[in-house]
Structure 1
Amino acid sequence: MGVAFSSLWGSLFGTKELKICILGLDNAGKTTLTYQMTMGQAVATAPTVGSNTEHFTFKNLRFLLWDVGGQASLRASWTQYLSNTDAVVFVFDSTDRERVQLAREELHRVASDEQIAKAPILLFANKQDVAGCMTPADISEALSLTSLRLQNWHIQGCSALTGKGLTEGLDWLANSLGAKG
C-alpha cells in the first residue's frame, strides 16, 4: 500500500531532483565514490577532466551527482558548478598528509561561497582501509571543520573501494536534506 501511494504521489507531484556537487583534490577518490554510490561497485577510473554526472536514488531522494575534477587547473572553476546546489560532498584522501593545508583552503573557499550558504556539507574521509591513514577526528581538526559555522556539516570515514561508510554518510545527507524542507 505504501509503495502504491508513494508511486501515485510521485506521479502526481513529481520528485524533486537534488543537485549534489562532489569535490575534492585530485586522487581523493571522487569518481570511485560516485560509481560505488550509483553502481554499488568500484570500477577502474581515469582522472576526471571537467565533470561527470550521474543520477542516484537514496531513501526516496533523487540526486543528480556532479563529480567535478580536482586537478589544480580545474579547482578554480568549482564555483561555476555550485549554482542551485543542494549539498556538497567533499572527498578527502585520508593518506594525503602533504596536501592537508591545500585541501583545507579549497574546502573553506567552497564553503564560503554564497551559492551554498544553506547547503549541508558531507566530508568523506576516504581510504580509511589504508594502513596509517589519518582518522576522521584527525582530519576534522586538520581541516578546521569546527570553523565552518554557517553550514551543517558531517565527516564520515569511508572506503570508496569497498563501500564501507558510504551508507552512514548518505543517511546523514538524506536526513539533512529531508529536514531542509
Structure 2
Amino acid sequence: MPSSGLDNAGKTTILKKLNGEDIMNTSPTLGFNIKTFVHGKYTLNIWDVGGQRTLRPYWRNYFEQTDALVWVVDSGDRMRMSDCRDELNSLLLEDRLAGASLLVFANKWDLQGSMNDSQIRDALDLSSIKSHHWKILSCSAVTGENLVDGLNWVVDDVAKRLELEALSSSFSFCLNRFHNCCPLFDFYLFNFVSGDCLSLQNILFHRV
C-alpha cells in the first residue's frame, strides 16, 4: 500500500507515529522507505514514497498489487492544493490502482490557518471520484489523532471489497456451471431477471 502526497505533507512522520517510532528526527524522504507493521489481524506493508517533484514520476513503480492508496495532504499548504489535486487525479487513472480504496489524510489540521476536511474535500474535488471508495480524515502526525481511525477504515474497506470480489467470482463460476448443464438456463435466467423467482429455483435445482 503506497503512501503518497506532495513533499512536506507529513507522510514519513505519520508512518513513524503509527509504528511507535520517534518522530522528532524526521528528514525528507529521498526515494522510498518500507514500513511493515501489524494492524489488528492484518500485516500492512506501506511504501513511504518521497513527494518531491523530481520523484513523482517514479510513484507508479510502487503500485504493483495495490489494494489501497494513502494520500497525505498538508492542510496548511493552500498555495499547492491545486497541484495536490492534479497529482492525485493523475494517479487514480493508473490501471494498477483500479478500484483501490483511497484514504486522504488531511494532516496538520491542528495548526493555525489550516483548512478543514470539508475545504480540502472541495479543493481536491473528491466528490467527483466515482471509481474508488474514498474517505478524508483530518489528522495530526504529531499527536496521532485519527491515524488509527484512518487505517481502520481503509483495512475494512479493502476487506469488504475483496470479499465481494470473491463472492462475485464464485457466483460467476456457478452460473457458468449451470449454463453448461442446463439446456434451458438462458430461458430461466431471462425470466428470473424479469421477476420470475420460480425460474431461479429451476436454475438452482436444475429442473428441466
TM-score range, shorter chain: 0.7 to 0.9
Matched, 1:95 2:115: no
- Please identify which structure carries the higher helix content: 2
**What is the rounded CA distance, in whole Å, between the counterparts of 1:59 and 1:145 in structure 2?**
28
Equivalent of residue 130 in structure 1, options 111, 114, 124: 111
TM-score, L = length of structure 2 = 0.76
Counting only pairs closer than 5 Å after superposition, residues 17-36 of structure 1 correspond to structure 2 as: 20-36=1-17
TM-score, L = length of structure 1 = 0.87
Number of aligned positions between the proteins = 162
Shift of 1:135: 0.3
Identity of aligned residues (%): 40
More deviation in 169-178 or 40-49? 40-49
> Considering only aligned residues, what root-mean-square deviation do their CA atoms show, in Å?
1.0
Equivalent of residue 162 in structure 1, options 138, 143, 149: 143
Instruction: Please tell me the residue identity of whatever aligns with 2:47.
Output: W
Kept in 2, the 8 Å contact 1:93–1:127? The answer is yes
Shift of 1:43: 3.5
**What is the rounded CA distance, in whole Å, between the counterparts of 2:118 and 2:111 in structure 1?**
16
Shift of 1:41: 5.2
**What is the rounded CA distance, in whole Å, between the counterparts of 2:12 and 2:118 in structure 1?**
24
Name stretches of at least 5 consecutive residues in structure 2 with no aligned partner.
163-208
Task: Please tell me whether Structure 1 or Structure 2 has the larger radius of gyration of its CA atoms.
Answer: 2
Matched, 1:45 2:21: no
Higher-RCO chain (CA-CA 8 Å, sequence separation at least 6): 1
Instruction: Please tell me the residue identity of whatever aligns with 1:155.
Output: I
Instruction: Please tell me the residue identity of whatever aligns with 1:81.
Output: Y
Instruction: Please tell me the residue identity of whatever aligns with 1:172.
Output: W
Report what 1:82 is aligned to. 63
Runs of 4 or more consecutive aligned structure 1 residues displaced over 6 Å after TM superposition: none
Matched, 1:117 2:98: yes
Matched, 1:107 2:112: no
Name stretches of at least 5 consecutive residues in structure 1 with no aligned partner.
1-19
SS in 1 for 2:155: helix
